Structure 1
């Protein structure tokens, strides 16, 4: 069996991936769901991308994890690319789940439509929040209203700097020798098609395994069992 570290998306914590992790553990895998710096209770909302990358590097180091299948969901893709650049010797495979794939010098704000940041609600503390109508229509469009509302109530403000900080990489993803996989949830509308996670951003991985499954951007809420299965499929040798 394998060791997985699941890195959550913006506005989430590791707790939201626990239903997925529990199903994977039941199948015999070792699974961790750390929460990124900036998303933990009491964290300042001026946290940047490099601090989030460092929080996962430190987690792998402090826990002494090796041969790890490292998954990033959505903005977590920015983090796992940075982690792979810093400690490739600890990683067995990278798995991107409808995730951002950036080259050196690119930020999330470079990979989305120019009007996207203006749709978010900015706080005085350096955070941004996702308005419910966008969440409902674009992120969790496969859920009933009650499920969408319950999930939304669990989100927390995201440090905006994690969206504007540019990736600092010695090696771009396509040139990384680590095996890579991409999970594409086919009803995901978090990005419009011209900026889509797949095939637009996934193409920047170079050689990768594609796993496609039905569902929205938020399968951790709407179908954790299918997401857990897809992660195992993406992580196999």
Structure 2
């Protein structure tokens, strides 16, 4: 169960928002939200995880997040004496953000899981996917290709638009934006994804003792919103529902930033 929000977790000042991207992506996928946070006076960082490197697991991925949180070389220690943070994990990034939150729990003002995979302490997520077939929405990865080892990649922008980004262009068009152009630009920034992480047991022994918020996207066509609501209940998270699909950082950046800015504010 997540702990209730304590006053000024990690210190009295505003928290830094650390934005953790999902599979196949880079930190730049969070750019619209980071820009919206900047207009609200909230500092944000979106590190590139080394998720395309063969064999990469929790240690390397969490290390990249902690560097973004202010725990790089010469930075403050991992607990208590560093800057307060809001850790945000999108999709596969939920596994990484949760493990990072456990490492720096005293500094975490909130852990925010956005359309995220939610780990179970001590258990490989691959085992959960095999046992709980409703965690993901079928078909989103139908056109993904296998790369070396346990990596996969998207062959072209059309495959991305029809699979991982299903419905995103329509959602953007309805908001008065050029959905096809935005999706094509996002697809051009994707890279291969190594999946070694899924075979590793979640490195936390119990759910991190931090306030947890689970953002479920009602029309998500990648991570099941039905399973997402169940997962929020399982870990004791506060449930926030957004309209739309799997990529609110693209389709609802202002709404997403408003939520995160509120969590980053001093108590």
TM over 0.5: yes
Distance change (3 Å), C-alpha of 1:12 and 1:121: same
In 1, the alpha carbon distance for the partners of 2:200 and 2:254 equals 33
1:1-237 paired onto structure 2 within 5 Å:
1-39=14-52, 44-60=53-69, 61-62=71-72, 63-64=75-76, 65-112=82-129, 113=133, 119=142, 120-130=144-154, 131-132=159-160, 133-137=162-166, 142-143=171-172, 144-171=179-206, 173=207, 176-192=208-224, 196=227, 198-206=228-236, 208-235=237-264, 237=267
Conservation of the 8 A alpha-carbon contact between 2:17 and 2:260: no
| Structure with the larger RCO, 1 or 2 (CA within 8 Å, 6+ apart) | 2
Distance change (3 Å), C-alpha of 1:118 and 1:151: closer
In 2, the alpha carbon distance for the partners of 1:59 and 1:22 equals 17
The 10-residue stretch of structure 1 (86-95 or 6-15) with the greater mean CA deviation from structure 2: 86-95
> Which structure 2 residue ranges, 5 or more long, are not aligned?
1-13, 77-81, 173-178
> Which structure 1 residue ranges, 5 or more long, are not aligned?
none
SS at match of 2:50: coil
Q: TM-score normalised to the size of structure 1?
A: 0.82
Q: TM-score normalised to the size of structure 2?
A: 0.74
Q: Find the structure with the greater CA-based Rg.
A: 2
In 2, the alpha carbon distance for the partners of 1:209 and 1:7 equals 19
In 2, the alpha carbon distance for the partners of 1:234 and 1:138 equals 29
SS at match of 1:52: helix
Paired residues, number = 227
| RMSD across aligned positions (CA) | 2.6
